Structure 1
């Protein structure tokens, strides 16, 4: 099998040793920091244009967004970790509960992070008496940059790679696990599914949301942008799951595709199972928002 050799990229930007302790800045952390900052600036740009919003009034001020941002970061980290523990490896972490906080060992779930962010938004809107739909739309607009850079960081880390492929852009990822491809002689090339997700869930979805928000009047219909985000991310993730290697705990001799739900050789991966509700909720949000009259500035 032929493929593109994995580039020689260190997962660490740099490292320093202080008093015998080694500290490293990893691309993964830097990607999320940069993505959140870019998304924050995009949302601020929209909030500073009240004519884009329902009734000509932004749902919150830039200062309120900064306050919300702190809680969103905590929601991403806490929800992402707990989502991974509960959705992907509950048996292991029930037996090793002290390892649950060990974020440095890897293991985050987008869907868990989404639940954490949703909780942060609900609490913020309740405390600040801000319109939930408008705040949700602002956060939806700000989310794709972090997804884009986060998926690129997954590629740099040589993790979350795809299934074996003979396509010319298949990548030969390093590591024993990546090269464990039954029936493949020589180097095993795999789908760079991280880059597929970066392009679809981050770049493409982000451009669509920006055009709808700044040129399409979507922010004048509350929940419309949120619906597009949910449905767009869900559909992109559902499609990529067909070529993404599932988590090892789902793979067995009788289930080589690693399907979480399966019957008669057909089924869904865990990613697809968790994503289907997102697509449904997003579609319902879009339909509901489209039926509401567009609120133009007073």
Structure 2
């Protein structure tokens, strides 16, 4: 069945990708998503860190006020890791031939998986400097990360990028950047709902009802499993990057390949955490 024509699909909302401009300086919603995501993440992290009873031995990985110090680290690590990840995983031949383009972030090339690795490394280094438990910091990051993911995917939708394959479903959207102008899966919204909102609610239950932070590594593992399964599922209806296409015979995407080790790592963390006695108050 062919994809519905533009007049039978949901219209793309009339939202300018540029949030505001001051003279020649323009601020895009995508940049604001990063800033607001880190800011809200720091606020939520402060609330979690201040509830010492949630943590193993009443010992959060660092003090609540230090969440704002780490927010600076987080912003740098996400941007640097995301950019390096995109260069290595998604378009290495191009950047090998044009090395100065690595620093041209105006092309929008960022990899979530690279940003995740950068954030994890920054969290471990920061926590070791503070004398805390790095596993507990990974749990903290797993608890707050869905906030940023949801905002980032919403910004992808506003930018009309990373959209899905053609669909005949009634909620198909015609994106203004699509040269074919056919209805497509709003895969950005799928990811915002699954990797963002739903995963946040699941982890909120684990942290506050099941006291999962008392088992270092558990929340980080649940986040990794939830993210990886959601990303792998959505990739089946999301268009792959044009320069890569489908891999391994035309049925896997790079996003799915990179999510598999995250899934396995998450399972390993959950097994590790659940085979150890939980700390109590």
Normalized against structure 2, the TM-score is what?
0.95
- Cα contact 1:46–1:214 (8 A) shared by 2: no
- The range that moved more, 30-39 or 226-235, is 30-39
Deviation at 1:211, TM superposition (A): 1.6
User: Which structure's CA Rg is the greater one?
Assistant: 1
Instruction: Name the structure 2 match of 1:218.
Output: 212
Secondary structure of the corresponding residue to residue 24 of structure 1:
strand
Instruction: Name the structure 1 match of 2:135.
Output: 133
> Which has a greater percent of helix?
2
Deviation at 1:128, TM superposition (A): 2.1
1:281 aligns with 2:275: no
What is the CA RMSD across the aligned residues, in angstroms? 1.2
Instruction: Name the structure 2 match of 1:30.
Output: 32
- The range that moved more, 156-165 or 92-101, is 92-101
1:45 aligns with 2:39: no
Instruction: Name the structure 2 match of 1:154.
Output: 156
Q: Distance in 1 between matches of 2:87 and 2:122?
A: 20
1:261 aligns with 2:255: no
Q: Give 1:203's match in structure 2, choosing from 186, 191, 197.
A: 197
Structure 2 residue runs of 5 or longer lacking an equivalent are: none
Structure 1 residue runs of 5 or longer lacking an equivalent are: 181-186, 251-257
Pairwise mapping of residues 75-154 of structure 1 onto structure 2 (< 5 A)?
A: 75-154=77-156
- Cα contact 1:261–1:270 (8 A) shared by 2: no
Pairwise mapping of residues 169-188 of structure 1 onto structure 2 (< 5 A)?
A: 169-175=171-177, 178-180=178-180, 187-188=181-182
Deviation at 1:12, TM superposition (A): 0.7
> Which has a greater percent of strand?
1
1:232 aligns with 2:232: no
- Cα contact 2:46–2:65 (8 A) shared by 1: no
| Count of aligned residue pairs for this structure pair | 275
- Cα contact 1:5–1:171 (8 A) shared by 2: yes
Instruction: Name the structure 2 match of 1:253.
Output: none
